[in-house]
């Protein structure tokens, strides 16, 4: 149930409050212990999220990579160098970058926070996740990772500034690749009005909410099934950044921003969402990739 002024009310396939079978538990992974010597990893069924306090000169390499992956630099002072296909690309901070399949290397040029978002089949990073046990058995309700059509021109490193102005009627700042969708939500100053929340759920994909600044409460409700043993209590999870909440299909959820200063939240989806992609102007880099013709609609 979206609030009356929430742009998501216009989606062609509005979320519903349940699918087949019981919804699984949600995971909260706390990144606050991350330091230059530790890369903290969380995962969804289809992607891993690696949070690093990168130091200058630190290197991250992928060999024989099957899918595109993303590097998120939330701070303007951070920068990286990406080597791919014999070329070197310098990437400034406050950006999201998609790196093509194949061999690539990321080097931290100027220290700062670095978040790599990697499809789970790549380089075993998901095996290191703090919540790996949650995926000992795959969730049958989660749609598998089937890459969307490739770029409109050629495979290359694609980097985008997060400094995109607000636009009425658009939901956040959405960037996508063939495998991922990253939504840099509007940075708010102060708490969210508790009378303007938008509880909703998704039938067949997980939502990964990455909290980077401020304070948040994730409100979660599990619909009842005929089996009483599957019922779960509501949760109202207070989280402080940096942290990530992974919300399974079927769980009714809404996030309340409670910090008195800046609140920064990023939503991550793997694979991308067709309903978002179908909204003209919502995906900032929509012209850089071939459209997802025939892609399955989120439930």
Domains of the chain: 7-146+155-286 (2.60.120.10)
For the chain, report the end-to-end CA distance as a whole number of angstroms. Answer: 15
Tokens standing for residue 247: 């919300």
Contacts of 237 (CB under 8 A, 6+ apart): 26, 28, 217, 218, 220, 245
Query: Would you give the DSSP letter of residue 291?
Result: -
Distance CA 66, CA 68 (A): 7
Distance CA 66, CA 94 (A): 26
pLDDT the model gives residue 125: 77
Q: Is the peptide bond before 242 cis (omega within 30 degrees of 0)?
A: yes
Helix (H, G, I), strand (E, B) or coil at 125: helix
Which residue numbers in the chain have pLDDT < 50?
Answer: 14-19, 36, 295-299
Q: pLDDT per residue over 200-249, tens digit each?
A: 999 999 999 999 999 999 999 999 999 999 999 999 999 989 999 999 99
pLDDT the model gives residue 178: 97
3-class SS letters over 74-113: CCCCCEEEEEECCEEEEEECCEEEEECCEEEEEEEEECEE
pLDDT the model gives residue 175: 98
Neighbours of 20 (CB within 10 A): 11
């Amino acid at each position: 149930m979206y609030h009356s002024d929430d742009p998501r009310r216009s989606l062609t396939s509005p979320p519903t409050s349940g699918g087949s079978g019981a919804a699984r538990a949600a995971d909260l992974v706390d990144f606050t212990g991350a330091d230059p010597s530790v890369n903290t990893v969380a995962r969804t069924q289809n992607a891993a999220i690696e949070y690093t306090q990168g130091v200058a000169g630190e290197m991250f390499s992928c060999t024989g990579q099957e899918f595109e992956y993303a590097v998120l630099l939330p701070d303007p002072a951070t920068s990286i160098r990406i080597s791919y296909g014999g070329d070197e690309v310098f990437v400034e901070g406050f950006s999201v970058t998609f790196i093509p399949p194949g061999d690539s290397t990321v080097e931290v040029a100027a220290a700062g926070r670095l978040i790599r978002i990697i499809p789970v089949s790549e380089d075993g990073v998901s095996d290191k996740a703090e919540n790996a046990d949650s995926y000992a058995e795959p969730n049958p309700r989660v749609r598998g990772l089937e890459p969307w059509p490739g770029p409109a021109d050629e495979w290359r490193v694609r980097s985008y500034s997060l400094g995109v102005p607000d636009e009425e009627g658009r939901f956040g700042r959405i960037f996508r690749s063939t495998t991922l969708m990253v939504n840099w939500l509007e940075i708010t100053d102060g708490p969210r009005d508790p009378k303007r929340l938008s509880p909703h759920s998704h039938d067949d994909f997980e939502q990964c909410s990455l909290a980077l600044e401020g304070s948040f409460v994730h409100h979660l409700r599990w619909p009842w099934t005929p089996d009483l043993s599957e019922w779960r209590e509501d949760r109202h999870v207070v989280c402080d950044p940096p942290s990530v909440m992974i919300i399974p299909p079927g769980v009714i959820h809404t996030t309340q921003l409670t910090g008195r200063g800046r609140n920064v939240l990023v939503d991550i989806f793997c694979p991308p969402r067709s309903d978002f992609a179908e909204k003209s102007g919502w995906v900032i880099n929509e012209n850089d990739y071939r459209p997802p013709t025939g892609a399955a609609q989120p439930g």
